[in-house]
Structure 1
Amino acid sequence: MGGPMAANLVKAGHRVQAFDLSEAALSHAVEVGCQRAASAVAAVQGAEVVISMLQTGRQVDSLYIGGDVPLFKHIDGKALVIDCSTIDAATARNTAVTAARSGLDFIDAPVSGGVAGAQAGTLTFIVGASDAQFARAEPVLKLMGKNVLHAGDHGAGQIAKACNNMLLAVLMAGTCEALNMGIKSGLDAKVLSDIIKRSSGNNWALQVYNPVPGVMEGVPAARNYQGGFQVNLMCKDLGLAMEVSQQSGSPVPMGSAAKALFNLHQVAGNGSLDFSSLLQLFRDAE
């Protein structure tokens, strides 16, 4: 995700200093015009805006606060820090508080739209920040996304993202289940998809992310479920949603069912596949 986002910043005329623990990812960033940094500390030196994209709250905390070389000690006090990771709201809030003590502006801005959205610059950024911080971040985020939405104060972006991805998981699971039933009953997958898209069962998965191979071009299902949004990441995000449900006392029976299905698919060795590959779980069950 971070690679295409950085590429769009370069296209917009910005000088981007990039660092990644993955040499392949870093080399690709250099190919699209980023400047190679030898370390995370080197990447933030002199930066007006710092953008991070990590997988877990622990990684975010280690990068900025608790690691051997915490970045908050090396970032210019006038810089804006934007974390686009999808993590728990508590870590996002704590990081913002710690940043404020150092005189830094830190916001959480998880994204929706997948790798394709990052490449096309059509991501949706869901921002947790003060009004002033949001106003400062919006012009930068619009260089990488189509929609920049202010969810509320720090941590609100993470809660909204958890709600969105839980619903996405439910929709994809239901879509796979319905399409598989129709296919097993003798219907053509494309015909059935078109029928449901024009009926009350229409949803995002059917519109732009059909999980059945051969129905839609340009989606992970058309390339053996490679690329896109991995099952491993969906399972992580559903775990975050379960934490939100417990903290808020909100019943999530359908979200829990979706989590169980994706976990089953993950432990069967499909964690690196796109989450639309959940269709295979229903087929394998037969």
Structure 2
Amino acid sequence: MKNIAFIGLGNMGGPMAANLVRAGYTVRGVDVVEQAQAAAREQGVEVVPTAAEAARGADVVITMLPTGALVRKVIEEVLEGGVGKPLLFIDSSTVSVAECRDNAAVVRAAGYRFIDAPVSGGTVGAQAGTLAFMVGGSAEDVAEAAPLLDVMGRVTTHCGEVGAGEAAKLCNNMVLGVHQVVIAEAMILGRRLGLDPRTLHDVMAGSTGASWALTTNCPVPGVVESAASSRDFAGGFGTDLIIKDLHLAQVSATDTGTPTPLGDLAAALFRESAAAGHGRRDFSAVIELLESQSR
């Protein structure tokens, strides 16, 4: 599996593809954004115009796209373009469980294989090759994909059959959204009680309040230099994306009759943050919304 087609070279997909190139894989990539194309070329990715061209001669097609509908479009384009060898599709997008299983069914009906492998770890993890993969699919297909996932991530968890990876991702990101909100609340409260944000960060990081939303993505600028907040909330995991993930979690909660009051509240706050102009900024910018609502 030396030839990889990588569809979606954005904030996450671009660094993931670059890590594959550094590991010796031949990567042909596609993205609609010229800036993403240029960045990928600098990392050794051969950028081509279409998914069908990228997949020609590939062993694996990896998708990292915003929606399940776009994943389906890529799958159909690749299949219509003609595939002359056994092919494994790895979808690292975050989509609904139903969309994932429908897309897998299309691939399997054409005689090919599919696993879902959404990720956690943000842009920092994508760049460092330390992502966590949550994978759904057959044991054989997951084992075949393992060398690639090991290049892009630090841990891979086989969660079950196709769709199980997406289910785990939605649950994880509901927790992440709640964490990011409460960390922002605590930081605002601590400062108003006279605590230096760095001191409060260190206290929580070394005790029971620790979480990724604090130690890696602290919402107070300057506390964690690599956090999005320290570069005016640029890059990172966009507010619009956490809204999408929380919406998918809410749909799943409704479908299964599961109460998720904290997840619902976090989703509402991030929607409000987007309406305030933070949609394209890192989701930790919710701290600015909470600041603006303060007395």
Place the TM-score, normalised by the shorter chain, in its bin. over 0.9
Offset, 1:91: 1.0
Partner of 2:43: 32
Offset, 1:25: 1.1
Partner of 1:71: 78
SS at match of 1:143: helix
How far apart, CA to CA, are the structure 1 residues paired with 2:281 and 2:46? 31
Where does structure 1 lack aligned partners over 5 or more consecutive residues?
A: none
Equivalenced residue count is 282
Partner of 1:271: 279
2:153 matches 1:145:
yes
SS at match of 1:211: coil
Which residue, 196, 206, 212 being the options, matches 2:214?
206
CA contact (8 A) 2:131 2:154 kept: yes
Offset, 1:260: 0.6
1:177-236, Cα deviation, whole Å (9 max, x unpaired): 111111122221111222223333222222222111121211111111111101010101
Offset, 1:78: 0.4
How far apart, CA to CA, are the structure 1 residues paired with 2:101 and 2:209? 37
CA contact (8 A) 1:77 1:104 kept: no
Partner of 1:41: 52
How far apart, CA to CA, are the structure 1 residues paired with 2:84 and 2:97? 25
Change (3 A) 1:195 1:36: closer
CA contact (8 A) 1:77 1:102 kept: no
Partner of 2:198: 190
1:66-119, Cα deviation, whole Å (9 max, x unpaired): xxxx22233344011111110111111011111111110011111111111111
Partner of 2:254: 246
1:38-80, Cα deviation, whole Å (9 max, x unpaired): 3111100000111111001111122213xxxx22233344011
CA contact (8 A) 1:52 1:85 kept: yes
How far apart, CA to CA, are the structure 2 residues paired with 1:189 and 1:4? 31
CA contact (8 A) 1:92 1:108 kept: yes
Letter in 1 for 2:62: I
How far apart, CA to CA, are the structure 2 residues paired with 1:203 and 1:17? 36
How far apart, CA to CA, are the structure 2 residues paired with 1:17 and 1:194? 43
Letter in 1 for 2:98: A
Change (3 A) 1:146 1:76: farther
CA contact (8 A) 1:47 1:76 kept: no
How far apart, CA to CA, are the structure 1 residues paired with 2:170 and 2:224? 27
TM-score, structure 2 length as denominator? 0.92
How far apart, CA to CA, are the structure 2 residues paired with 1:84 and 1:64? 13
Partner of 1:115: 123
Identity of aligned residues (%): 44
Partner of 1:21: 32
Letter in 2 for 1:162: L
Partner of 1:81: 89
**4+ aligned runs moved over 4 Å, structure 1:** none
2:140 matches 1:129:
no
1:128-157, Cα deviation, whole Å (9 max, x unpaired): 111111111111111111111111111111
Which residue, 46, 55, 58 being the options, matches 2:69?
58
SS at match of 2:143: helix
Letter in 1 for 2:67: T
How far apart, CA to CA, are the structure 2 residues paired with 1:76 and 1:219? 44
CA contact (8 A) 1:78 1:104 kept: yes
Letter in 1 for 2:184: C
